[in-house]
Amino acid sequence: MGTWATLRVTVRNKDIAPWRRNHPKDTLLAHDSDLLWTNEFINVEKDLYFVELVAHVGQDDSGARRLSLVELVDAARGLVLPVLDHFESPQLAAERLPDNWLVLAAPLVEWAISLGDQSSARWIAERIMRAHAHETTVFKRGRVAYHAGERPALGLGEDALGWLAARHTLFPGTEPLPWTIPAKSAKERLIASGRELIEGLRSELRHFQETRPGCLHDEQLGEALDVVNSWLAELTGQPRRSSPPKHQALMYLVREFGISETELGRDLIAFEDAAARLRGSQPAK
């Protein structure tokens, strides 16, 4: 017997509701007029996604996370509430929201548009798509839907983003989409590969353990996610809650998890090696 919780965080802003009601042709969320952002915790803080609330805290043989209610509240306060401060304005959200919060985030673009902040709307949209460049086809499908007089069924994802971008001319149709332009610098290519790793690790979290490389537990995937996210924060200049990644942290995890000979293991080590070389080439501050 136990109490299991799959957690979600939602941000609402009543100030956007009048704009959505008064501009039904410009919005995809007239039916949910104050929604700003909503996501399951797996995209925010994976350790708080699927938890068993118990009196005796620990980890069982399956690798599932177990928390007391007090620990859950404390963790949410420490890991989630500080990021909510970035929803003060579209510009702040564009500048400071971590990449892993830019999932199903099209309503943030609507928010910026509703305030006449076209620059932040474009910036947020570009950041979302750089973090999810593999969804470019979906983005383009949304753009085509707009020109065909159609609307996406859900106003949250990359198709909604494409629809909004077309409706509000965020990206000139005569120019290539910014995130589709091949990276020119080694740093840009490294950031792109790190984001692909993040997507791959998140995808594995949704798979059965038996199908994962090395039959990794959720907690092990989470450890690798933490290190890659920390490297990406350093590479992109994002604020981060943790200390800088330690030298060869991913290599040690790959060896400990027994996945050195897997594609995932090799990709993690290659990414870390390249990131460490780039760090070493930077002038001391």
pLDDT for res 50: 63
pLDDT for res 236: 86
Tell me the backbone φ, ψ of residue 230, rounded to 5 degrees: -65, -40
Determine the Cα angle at 9 with ends 4 and 10, to 5°. Answer: 140
Residue 91: how many other CB atoms lie within 10 Å: 15
pLDDT for res 203: 82
More confident residue, 156 or 54: 156
pLDDT surpasses 70 at 171: yes
Cα radius of gyration (the chain): 20
Beta-bridge partners for 8: 40
Average pLDDT value for residue range 142-165: 96
d(CA 204, CA 207): 5
pLDDT for res 271: 93
Is-contact 16 34, C-beta < 8 A?
yes
pLDDT surpasses 70 at 60: no
What are 183's two structure tokens? 């990276």
More confident residue, 246 or 124: 124
d(CA 196, CA 211): 19
* Separation of CA 60 from chain center: 28
Average pLDDT value for residue range 68-83: 82
Instruction: List Cα–Cα distances, 49 to 8, 40, 84, 114, 241, in angstroms.
Output: 8, 7, 17, 31, 18
pLDDT surpasses 90 at 87: yes
Which pLDDT band, with edges at 50, 70 and 90, does 175 fall under?
confident
pLDDT surpasses 80 at 30: yes
Determine the Cα angle at 200 with ends 157 and 104, to 5°. Answer: 15
d(CA 150, CA 148): 6
- Kind plus residue range of the DSSP H or E element containing 70: helix 69-79
pLDDT surpasses 70 at 95: yes
pLDDT for res 192: 87
pLDDT for res 47: 67
Residue 207: how many other CB atoms lie within 10 Å: 11
Contacts of 273 (CB under 8 A, 6+ apart): none
Average pLDDT value for residue range 66-70: 72
Q: What are the pLDDT digits (tens) for 193-240?
A: 998 898 888 888 777 888 898 899 888 888 898 899 889 888 888 766
C-beta contacts of 221-224 below 8 A and 24+ residues apart: 221/46, 222/46, 222/47, 223/253, 224/250, 224/253, 224/268
Secondary structure (3-state) at 199:
helix
Which pLDDT band, with edges at 50, 70 and 90, does 63 fall under?
very low
Residue with tokens 């005569």: 174
pLDDT surpasses 80 at 92: yes
pLDDT for res 242: 63
Query: Beta strand 65-67 with 50-53: parallel, antiparallel or unpaired?
Result: parallel
Residue 240: how many other CB atoms lie within 10 Å: 16
The one-letter amino acid at 255 = R
Query: Considering the entire predicted model, what is its pTM?
Result: 0.76
Q: What are the pLDDT digits (tens) for 257-271?
A: 999 999 999 999 999
pLDDT surpasses 70 at 168: yes
What are 236's two structure tokens? 């992109």
Average pLDDT value for residue range 139-168: 96
Distance from first CA to last CA of the chain, Å, rounded?
Answer: 54
pLDDT surpasses 90 at 86: yes
Percent of the chain topping pLDDT 90: 51
